[in-house]
Structure 1
């Protein structure tokens, strides 16, 4: 906090002040001059004041004076000013002795000097210091800006440290030292945050200890945090110090944003190109040239990764950060409330690791599907596969990326929309068989499924069921009668096979085993 040095106040000849005790405290700063005549003024004090009194309610005995000084000392006052000529012709000797014993500066204010004159001098000096601080900051800020243009974050950190006579460290979002001045301050900068756990969640924090003061300021632009600036000093930091710290944090943030803004613009252009690719409106040759120039490997083809859940745009941003760390550009767009991202064919494993990292950044539930490998001309097909696989991933509720290739023979039953249709079909077509099995202890339903899964081949189906083929024929004939279905028709058999794949017991288990 800015204050007026008591020594400076004592040198004001127009006030004619006399120091009677506590000479060792002349370097104390007075933050306010407060006239108060209470016997116990401590509850109304915050520390750093020059308390002015005529001793109106102060007894002259030693015990009372000692108690009065003790209360002022505990309140943290800077000094005591005693006006003589009214309640007391001179400052009580007991008060002088108590002040000297406590180390509290005691100043005699003569009768011709009104208390308001002392208060006015302090107020004017405080205002002057604030103006000087603003002028000082206005001279330093352009230097810091020029330093940012010339030397980036390191130059800004150096200028801040030199201008404030402090040690400054810039830590990135992983608490790694990116710049420091003086250089030896980097070692302590990484550990000084131990006592400032809240600094990571707040924009600024200050901590005091016996070793000095530490201030932390976030380096951020909007929601994007680039790190923190840490200032360490052996003294209390002034408002000018905090003003310059904030300015330096803004300059470092702008420096860190430069490549990200360029990347954001490139991602926007890439997203427009991906829209054309997935719509099938861009030729393979042009697509290959554009992807190659962007640093996207296309030799073995492409895949599409689709994400469901959360904000699609936030998903794209998180995936973009993950891919950038792996040296891959982001080609992404929002489609049907999903985030669609282009991946090289040989980076199937990247899909899972990138998704894990993106989920950690998003802190929300997301599900992902990965298309099969396609040529550049098959963008629409790749997008459809990825979206279908993502729907299956959401239905399963797991964290693993679902590859479209793994869904062979499962996609219709796994997708919620089609499964609902199949469940209705199953209930309509297979309910008569289930009812007959329950009533007569037969096994017509599993027999039909085995027959269908073995493409109507009697030998293979009877072997799978462990029954004679004549038994199988007898059961299938019974099925024909109950369902009224032509099992010689391939279309009928296909429909019944799909229905059996979705047939569920009332409790939720698969009735077909």
Structure 2
């Protein structure tokens, strides 16, 4: 609140009011908007934040435990403080009640018997009138700033921060990413700064965080208008984000269809996909969060929802940023190999989807395990690399690995004939089925997928080359 607001310290310092502090002097910075005399039980039900309760003690309980709870309830309701009139009706105030007031920094004051509460009320009313005049002037300036910076949220935020001497941050609730922020006069290092969060009713859930110095709380009137202005500003950001998302989706769908209209040709020229790009697949549930996060971060990528999954296409230069964002959002993703020809977008999308569907183990990032292979290995070094990358643990000399490798090679040699393979191996078909599942788990490849079968066949031929015709 501004310096024009009356604080409890100002009230105590007014000699004519003959007021002393009994407890809670750590909260004398609190601003007082109004003062009410109330003798009803549970007076916090009738008073609001930053209002002073004045009582001759009829509403104060006599039991010690009840007095402690009484002070705690007043503080929880946000009242500015408690003023006791020194009157015979006032019960004895316990040390426990005063200790609780000290703990909560909730001021408990006492006035002389001859001071009428009306004098206190008039004093606060006069100060409030001046403050309200200043509030109206602040609101007029606030709306003038909003008009001047209607399309520039960052500029508007800086102006409001300077006008009201507060720190401001607006955060998108879904992604936890800031739409805008400015530390105000505090610079992130000041002490005695309090932070308050307020939900915004924008088109997407968002939160306004206000940082204020102690004793300079925003009035509820100014705060309501600030919230409304930032709701409107956030809506403009979200509208731009939705438009950008729709454009990204249309362009990516066009690339996947092999379309080459003017918009896509322009994007291909500007995006420099030929320098290298990768596809990232995420779940459909996560796609909305990912798409919004990409828009708010201003990343030059394409993204579209495809069935029950989402796809992101990112060129080489920004790929690390995309990965960082997904890690920040805690989103699991499958990732393709690197491509340079825009005509391979569909292949990249398939690889990313496969990597996500075959994801095993912990972690959020799952690379495609397929390997681009020559039809035949051209050297022993190349053959060894193929065996290592495709067969993985099946290339070891461990007995279990040897059994699975023999089963795989036999199955491939017999053109995937279950009967012929089981007969040569001398095992039952159910045993063969069990081993095939083990082979697929160990390699991450499917014996029903054409691309995976091709890789496994070439790995088998590479093994034969290395081992001089020995099958296993």
Counterpart check, 1:435 vs 2:426 = yes
Q: Which one has more relative contact order, counting CA pairs under 8 Å at least 6 apart?
A: 2
Post-superposition Cα deviations, 1:393-448, rounded to whole Å, max 9, x if no partner, equal x256665452476265999999xxxx9xx99x6754422223269xxxxxxxxxxx
Q: Select the residue among 261, 273, 277 that pairs with 2:251.
A: 273
Q: 1:68/1:336 Cα in 2 relative to 1: closer, same or farther (>3 Å)?
A: closer
Q: Which runs of 5+ in 2 are unaligned?
A: 36-51, 75-79, 102-106, 149-154, 172-176, 374-385, 393-407, 429-456
SS at match of 2:312: strand
SS at match of 1:107: coil
8 Å Cα contact 2:82/2:109 also seen in 1: yes
Q: 1:134/1:400 Cα in 2 relative to 1: closer, same or farther (>3 Å)?
A: same
Hey, what does 2:114 align to over in structure 1?
A: 108
Q: What is the TM-score with the length of structure 1 in the denominator?
A: 0.51
SS at match of 1:78: strand
Post-superposition Cα deviations, 1:349-394, rounded to whole Å, max 9, x if no partner, equal 744x245313323224x131325536445544443344334434x2
Hey, what does 1:232 align to over in structure 2?
A: 213
8 Å Cα contact 1:305/1:371 also seen in 2: no
Q: Select the residue among 78, 103, 126 that pairs with 2:109.
A: 78
Counterpart check, 1:336 vs 2:302 = no
Hey, what does 2:371 align to over in structure 1?
A: 406
8 Å Cα contact 1:36/1:51 also seen in 2: yes
Q: 1:375/1:191 Cα in 2 relative to 1: closer, same or farther (>3 Å)?
A: same
Hey, what does 1:318 align to over in structure 2?
A: 293
8 Å Cα contact 2:251/2:263 also seen in 1: no
Q: 1:395/1:430 Cα in 2 relative to 1: closer, same or farther (>3 Å)?
A: farther
Q: Select the residue among 463, 472, 475 that pairs with 2:468.
A: 463
Hey, what does 2:260 align to over in structure 1?
A: 283
Q: What is the TM-score with the length of structure 2 in the denominator?
A: 0.55
Structure 1 position 268, deviation (Å): 1.3
Q: In structure 1, how many angstroms separate the alpha carbons of the residues matched to 2:87 and 2:348?
A: 89
Q: 1:320/1:412 Cα in 2 relative to 1: closer, same or farther (>3 Å)?
A: farther
Counterpart check, 1:373 vs 2:378 = no
Counterpart check, 1:160 vs 2:170 = no
Post-superposition Cα deviations, 1:336-357, rounded to whole Å, max 9, x if no partner, equal 322212233xx1x744x24531
8 Å Cα contact 1:156/1:252 also seen in 2: no
Hey, what does 2:145 align to over in structure 1?
A: 147
Q: Select the residue among 188, 191, 204 that pairs with 1:190.
A: 188
Higher alpha-carbon deviation: 254-263 or 308-317: 254-263
Structure 1 position 272, deviation (Å): 1.6
SS at match of 1:430: helix
Q: In structure 2, how many angstroms separate the alpha carbons of the residues matched to 1:72 and 1:303?
A: 66
Q: 1:152/1:320 Cα in 2 relative to 1: closer, same or farther (>3 Å)?
A: closer
Hey, what does 2:354 align to over in structure 1?
A: 388
Q: In structure 2, how many angstroms separate the alpha carbons of the residues matched to 1:23 and 1:305?
A: 65
Query: What do you get for the CA RMSD once the two structures are aligned?
Result: 5.5
Q: In structure 1, how many angstroms separate the alpha carbons of the residues matched to 2:354 and 2:21?
A: 83
8 Å Cα contact 2:276/2:338 also seen in 1: no
Q: 1:321/1:391 Cα in 2 relative to 1: closer, same or farther (>3 Å)?
A: farther
Q: 1:78/1:426 Cα in 2 relative to 1: closer, same or farther (>3 Å)?
A: farther
Q: In structure 1, how many angstroms separate the alpha carbons of the residues matched to 2:255 and 2:145?
A: 44
Summarize the alignment of residues 493-508 of structure 1 with structure 2, pairs less than 5 Å apart. none
Hey, what does 1:307 align to over in structure 2?
A: 282
Q: Which runs of 5+ in 1 are unaligned?
A: 12-17, 59-66, 81-105, 110-117, 162-167, 193-210, 438-451, 466-511
Q: In structure 1, how many angstroms separate the alpha carbons of the residues matched to 2:14 and 2:461?
A: 108
Q: In structure 2, how many angstroms separate the alpha carbons of the residues matched to 1:432 and 1:120?
A: 105
Post-superposition Cα deviations, 1:274-298, rounded to whole Å, max 9, x if no partner, equal 2122123x22665212444xx4224
SS at match of 2:54: strand
Q: In structure 2, how many angstroms separate the alpha carbons of the residues matched to 1:170 and 1:454?
A: 60
8 Å Cα contact 2:282/2:334 also seen in 1: yes
Post-superposition Cα deviations, 1:99-157, rounded to whole Å, max 9, x if no partner, equal xxxxxxx2326xxxxxxxx5677678878877876665444223112224435222111
Q: Select the residue among 33, 41, 57 that pairs with 1:36.
A: 57
Q: In structure 1, how many angstroms separate the alpha carbons of the residues matched to 2:241 and 2:301?
A: 9
Post-superposition Cα deviations, 1:284-340, rounded to whole Å, max 9, x if no partner, equal 665212444xx4224557653333475222233334556x3xxx4231101132221
8 Å Cα contact 1:307/1:369 also seen in 2: no
Higher radius of gyration, 1 or 2: 1
Q: In structure 1, how many angstroms separate the alpha carbons of the residues matched to 2:12 and 2:370?
A: 83
Q: In structure 2, how many angstroms separate the alpha carbons of the residues matched to 1:298 and 1:23?
A: 72
8 Å Cα contact 2:330/2:364 also seen in 1: no
